[in-house]
Amino acid sequence: MEPETLALLMVGGLFVLILAGIPVAFAIAATGLAFGLAGFGTDLFNLLPARIFGVVTNYTMLAIPLFVFMGVLLEKSRIAENMLDVVGHLAGKSPGGMALAIVGVGVLMGASTGIVGATVVTVGLIALPPLLRRNYKKSFACGTICASGTLGQILPPSLILILLSDIMGESVGTLFAAAVLPGLLLAGLYVLYIIALGRLRPEWVPPIGAEERAALPRRTLLLQLVKTVLPPLALIFTVLGSIIGGIAAPTEAASMGALGAVVLVLLSGNLNRRVLTDTLQDTFKITGMIMFVLMAAQVFSLSFRGLDGDYLVESLFDSVPGGEWGALLFMMLMLFVLGFFLEWIEISYIVLPLLLPFFHATGTDMVWLAMLVTLNLQTSFLTPPFGWSLFFLKGVAPPEVDTRDIYLGVIPYIGLQAVAIGLVMAFPAIATWLPRAVGW
């Protein structure tokens, strides 16, 4: 059988195993091994150890468990709950004020945790029941929580940015700097949408009642703001600023962030054995899952390239009209559709390496492309049927919230994410200005 035919069957086999319910890492490794052995025999095993060794000894990857530890610890210490309560009361006088607070906390949590599941579950548990009690429209409340929780995908220290730095050959600091403005742009679009909805449909997003606001005096509120919001904000600026400013390497900054999170939680009085044990367990689970998928992806990519899959992809792009822009639009559409069925990590380590050689050859700015890819992959958390943010929220939502409410609620935010992609595509400086300004 021709190698190209095996490469096509290999991709098809991967999708069959995933849709059959096989865990993704096992499906990737199984198809890679089976078709690699069929294509070029046991020679595969001569090349594979070096590839896997390169992954597990990559110094940059050490930042992953450290950032995960920092994020999980902040999530389990109830710091997010206090932030949402304070910010919500500050903005609660206006229609949609609580929703604006959720976006604000989503930005802070995203920039401090980078873990979408933790943010969506935390904000869902804390904010959804109060929003429903205040007569917020169910679908809007669900959509806002899901969308705000996914901001951790684009805002540094997002795990996807660390992995994309390895895939695309760019420094982590460059991608962190490049992601700041697109992430804030997306959050700004959410804010504009909520404000507009507050003007057009105030009954969907009623303000906090006067009696409830009066129960928390302004002076007390400002004091709580200093105690609950400023410390995490200072931690974020310290960690990200040291990376973007070139003061510390990502791994060094991540270790300081983990230590800073421990100190912050200790000072808040929430550090105990249970919190620390749960944090360490979740950190091991998340890191183990990521590293296992990365190692399995090496098996798949090595076999696919050995079966001349690169030439198939190159031929596919050559047949797309419009040159570089046509290929870019085609890739964006492909990633968006794949996001309905696959997680971002599989798309990043299976699909992207197959598509990137074409853009390297055309001289496309990899930093700009990385931001477009990151924004695109962020939609995969919101697109049914397998959008993980939808599952996370459904798992903690009250009984009166059904799946239809969640699916309807995320549709406007998927549209806003498409607008953000279009803006970054039309104005590349949104992604490239800050890295150049700080000298990356």
C-alpha 265/C-alpha 260 separation (Å) is: 9
C-alpha 163/C-alpha 101 separation (Å) is: 30
Tell me what pLDDT residue 10 has.
83
C-alpha 350/C-alpha 336 separation (Å) is: 15
Tell me what pLDDT residue 66 has.
84
Q: pLDDT tier at 120 (50, 70, 90 boundaries)?
A: confident
Give 175: exposed, middle or buried? Use CB within 10 Å, 0-12, 13-18, 19+.
buried
Q: Give pLDDT tens digits for 221-249.
A: 777 777 777 887 788 788 877 877 778 77
Per-state percent for the chain, helix, strand, coil, to nearest 5? 80, 0, 20
Lowest mean pLDDT among 103-112, 120-129, 209-218: 209-218
Residue of higher predicted confidence among 90 and 353 = 353
Tell me how many degrees the CA angle 406-232-114 measures, rounded to the nearest 5: 45
- Tallying the residues shown for the chain, one arrives at 440
The mean of the pLDDT values for the chain is 81
C-alpha dihedral (280, 283, 289, 294), degrees to nearest 10: -130
pLDDT at 368 over 90: yes
C-alpha 202/C-alpha 15 separation (Å) is: 45
Tell me what pLDDT residue 55 has.
75
Domain count, the chain: 1
C-alpha 159/C-alpha 42 separation (Å) is: 34
Tell me what pLDDT residue 48 has.
80
pLDDT at 185 over 90: yes
Q: pLDDT tier at 114 (50, 70, 90 boundaries)?
A: low
Average pLDDT, stretch 10-16? 81
Tell me what pLDDT residue 86 has.
75
State the number of CA atoms in the 13 A half-sphere of 153 facing the CB: 29
- Can you tell me which residue has the tokens 């047949």? 319
pLDDT at 126 over 70: yes
Give me the DSSP letters along 57-112. T-GGGGHHHHHHHHHHHHHHTTHHHHHHHHHHHHHTTSTTHHHHHHHHHHHHHHHH
Full domain range(s) for residue 420: 3-437
Q: Among 260, 265, 205, 217, which Cα is nearest to 237's? A: 260
Residue of higher predicted confidence among 165 and 222 = 165
Structure tokens at 391: 């599952």
Q: Which residues, 6 or more positions from 182, have their beta carbon under 8 angstroms from its beta carbon? A: 154, 371, 374, 375, 420, 424, 430, 431
Q: Give pLDDT tens digits for 245-277.
A: 778 777 888 888 888 888 888 887 888 888 889
- Return the SS3 of 349: helix
Q: What sections of 92-171 are H helices per DSSP?
A: 97-112, 116-133, 138-149, 159-168
Tell me what pLDDT residue 187 has.
94
Q: pLDDT tier at 210 (50, 70, 90 boundaries)?
A: low
Q: Give pLDDT tens digits for 276-292.
A: 898 898 888 878 877 88
Q: Is the pTM of this model over 0.85?
A: no
Q: Give pLDDT tens digits for 296-323.
A: 877 887 887 777 776 776 677 677 777 7
Tell me what pLDDT residue 272 has.
86
Average pLDDT, stretch 373-378? 91
